[in-house]
Structure 1
Amino acid sequence: MAGRRRWSTEEILDAAAELLTTSGAESFSVRKLAAALGTDSSSLYRHFRSKTELLRAVADRILLAAMEGHRPEGDWQQRITALALRLREAFGRQPQLAAVWGRYASGGTGSRLVMEEVLQALRASGLADEEIPGHYHRLAVLIAALIASEAGVTTVTAEEHEQGLELFRVAVLGAAPERFPALAHFARDVRPLGADRRAAFEDILAAHLAQLARIAAAAGPPR
């Protein structure tokens, strides 16, 4: 009797990414992945020691794809902005995996390429070396949060989107002025979370980078 097929690491990651697009990280399991491949969980554990390690590898492939062919251009703010938009676009094609990256992070080549580019850009900003790790961490959290937040909106169905808009209209336009005076005042101008996501992404990132530029300028040239 022929033995079971041996799946390569890349084939396992392909299948895991496909499964994640339909089930999400919360319901994903190595057992489900093994069933999809027609094998048993033990064969997958020869490639990955745990579900978390597997999910990190899936997320890292998104980062690696985003960095393929990337050439840094412009000043440090332009470099970070361009990188953030590349990551946003990469996870936009597979939005279900954005939450995986935000939750499990990654330690592979893709992650190292992203970290290297951000750290190099921050060194070019004029910030003192001892301050850069802390600013890097906050910037990484911000970018990951913005990408995950946008991905969460793009994965809802058309029906869920319409229901959400209706609930938003009821919550805002139906707010009692005596209890929610500010909300009632701005009711016709406040927009739901899903509106103008791209502009919000770029504005928030630009504001953060501008703050870093002010910090670097206040510190003066490196000694």
Structure 2
Amino acid sequence: MAGRRRWSTDEILDTAAELLRTSDAESFSVRKLAAALGTDSSSLYRHFRNKTELLRTVADRILVAAMDGYRPEGDWRQRITAVALRLREAFGQQPQLAAIWGRYASGGTGSRLVMEEVLQALQASGLPEEEIPACYHRIVILLSALIASEAGIGTLTPEEYEQGMEQFRVAVLGADPERFPALAHFAREIRPLGADRRTAFEEILAAHLAHIESAIP
């Protein structure tokens, strides 16, 4: 009787990424992954100690892909913006993994590539050395929050999105002006969360980088 096939680490990660296209971290399990591969869970634990390590590794591959071919260009703000847009685009193609990155983080090669470039850009900015780690930390938290938020909307079906838009219209345009006077006043100018995400992403990031620049001696 032929032995059960041995799957490589890359094949396991490819299958996990495919499963995560249609599920989230909570519903994903090593057992489901093993079933998709036609093997048992114990064989996968030879590659990964647990589900969290597996998810971190899958998310880290997105970071590696985002940084593939990257070359630093421009000043420090342009470099950080370029990295941010690369991450946004990469996770936009697989939005389920954006929440995983924000939740579990990563310590793999992709994470180190992002960390190195952002830290080098901050060094080039002229910030005092002692302020750079804290600035780096805030930038990464901002990016992970923005990317995860946008990705969450990207996972909605057209029906779910339209249902949300209808609820938004009812909540905003139907607001009682006596109870919600400000909301009623701005109702026709308030935009739903999913509108014009790219511009909002770039403006929020630019504002944060401008704040950092204002602290440079």
Deviations 1:30-50 (A, max 9, x none): 011001101000000000001
Identity %: 81
1:106 and 2:94 are equivalent in the alignment: no
CA displacement at 1:24 relative to structure 2? 1.3
CA displacement at 1:148 relative to structure 2? 0.5
Amino acid at match of 1:15: T
Amino acid at match of 2:180: F
In structure 2, distance between residues paired with 1:161 and 1:45: 38
SS of the aligned residue for 1:27 comes to: coil
In structure 2, distance between residues paired with 1:161 and 1:32: 28
1:68 and 2:68 are equivalent in the alignment: yes
Aligned to 2:153: 153
In structure 2, distance between residues paired with 1:65 and 1:193: 28
Deviations 1:57-101 (A, max 9, x none): 000100001111100000000000000000000011111111111
Aligned to 1:44: 44
Aligned to 2:35: 35
Deviations 1:109-145 (A, max 9, x none): 1100000000000011111111111110010000011
In structure 1, distance between residues paired with 2:23 and 2:176: 40
CA displacement at 1:17 relative to structure 2? 0.2
1:192 and 2:199 are equivalent in the alignment: no
Amino acid at match of 2:22: T
In structure 2, distance between residues paired with 1:28 and 1:161: 23
1:79 and 2:40 are equivalent in the alignment: no
In structure 1, distance between residues paired with 2:132 and 2:199: 27
Structure 1: stretches of 5+ with no match in the other structure: none
Aligned to 1:55: 55
SS of the aligned residue for 2:10 comes to: helix
Amino acid at match of 1:144: S
Amino acid at match of 1:137: H
In structure 1, distance between residues paired with 2:122 and 2:62: 23
CA displacement at 1:26 relative to structure 2? 1.2
| Aligned residue runs from structure 1 range 80-159, under 5 A | 80-159=80-159
In structure 2, distance between residues paired with 1:154 and 1:79: 26
SS of the aligned residue for 1:25 comes to: coil
CA displacement at 1:25 relative to structure 2? 1.0
Aligned to 2:168: 168
Amino acid at match of 1:106: S
SS of the aligned residue for 1:26 comes to: coil
CA displacement at 1:182 relative to structure 2? 0.1
Deviation beyond 2 Å, 4+ runs, structure 1: none
In structure 2, distance between residues paired with 1:47 and 1:153: 32
| Aligned residue runs from structure 1 range 6-21, under 5 A | 6-21=6-21
What is the total number of aligned residue pairs between the two structures? 217
Structure 2: stretches of 5+ with no match in the other structure: none
In structure 1, distance between residues paired with 2:141 and 2:38: 38
